[in-house]
Structure 1
């Protein structure tokens, strides 16, 4: 029953994601990661769109950066900047054991790690998963890391 509920919720969220541009898969059909946002920029406190001029291919995905300095920082230590859970919504992994798309502008950097979140319409109402995450960070973060190996293997 839990699996059916998660699949149903995932289906609804996925439909909302493809109908609203603010939501994006962690890696789109063209291989672009995080909707073209610069993963290094999150660590300075501002999500910035990257540029094709500063692109890096990493594990089959293309990452864009806002500057040569950010591109170089990523090349030097990509694991320092990659989002947790392959870029899927951290709340979805922790609270629902499911992969949800993300809004690249809704994020948190916690203990030097990047977490991304779904933030868009759900059932016709605004739904920002970061709000629940912020209230229950330690519980959801622990659950997400425990759930990830199982969720990662799911389609």
Structure 2
């Protein structure tokens, strides 16, 4: 058997193994040990307030087995009505990291909305690099994401 076929067989076996196990949060979601997304920041506030805003444990919603916190019940209700609109892209992982075939954590203050989608970055320096070619980096990230979204970050 060729090494290419062996590798494909291995990947299929790993895929079957992973699908047979459940995780607290979806494997593509960036969440802490308590399944809290975006370090507890309100994902709706990026759109409505145009700034990062800390959420509260009083106002939460679950999406893809990840817990989002909100600054108000109004923001929570907006999220519940349309989570795809407000949830960060790439499961909340750093957009530049995904373009580099990595799943990296984020700094909730390093953010940008592009064409109605929320993107987060590891930090402001990484965001500066990402912003230097948003369209190119997004194109690359969207090409890479399907191949890494179900892989644990530590394996990349």
Scaled by the length of structure 2, the TM-score of the pair is 0.75
Find out whether 1:92 has 2:97 as its counterpart: yes
Q: Which runs of 5+ in 1 are unaligned?
A: 1-24, 120-126
Partner in structure 1 of residue 117 of structure 2: 113
Task: Tell me the SS of whatever aligns to 1:91.
Answer: helix
Find out whether 1:142 has 2:146 as its counterpart: no
Q: How far does the alpha carbon of each residue in 1:5-26 deviate from its partner, in whole angstroms, 9 at most, with x for none?
A: xxxxxxxxxxxxxxxxxxxx82
CA RMSD of aligned residues (A): 1.3
- Paired residues, what number? 123
Return the match for 1:133 from 99, 116, 130. 130
Q: What is the CA-CA distance between 1:60 and the residue it aligns to?
A: 1.4
User: Quick one: higher RCO (CA 8 Å, sep 6+), 1 or 2?
Assistant: 1
Q: Which has the higher strand share?
A: 1
State the alpha-carbon separation in 1 of the partners of residues 78 and 137 from structure 2: 29
Partner in structure 1 of residue 83 of structure 2: 78
Return the match for 1:31 from 23, 31, 35. 35
Q: How far does the alpha carbon of each residue in 1:95-148 deviate from its partner, in whole angstroms, 9 at most, with x for none?
A: x111111101110000000000001xxxxxxx7211011111110010001110
Task: Tell me the SS of whatever aligns to 1:39.
Answer: coil
State the alpha-carbon separation in 2 of the partners of residues 42 and 113 from structure 1: 10
Structure 1 segments, 4+ long, off by >2 Å, are none
Q: How far does the alpha carbon of each residue in 1:36-73 deviate from its partner, in whole angstroms, 9 at most, with x for none?
A: 00000111311100011111122211111011110110
Q: Which runs of 5+ in 2 are unaligned?
A: 1-28
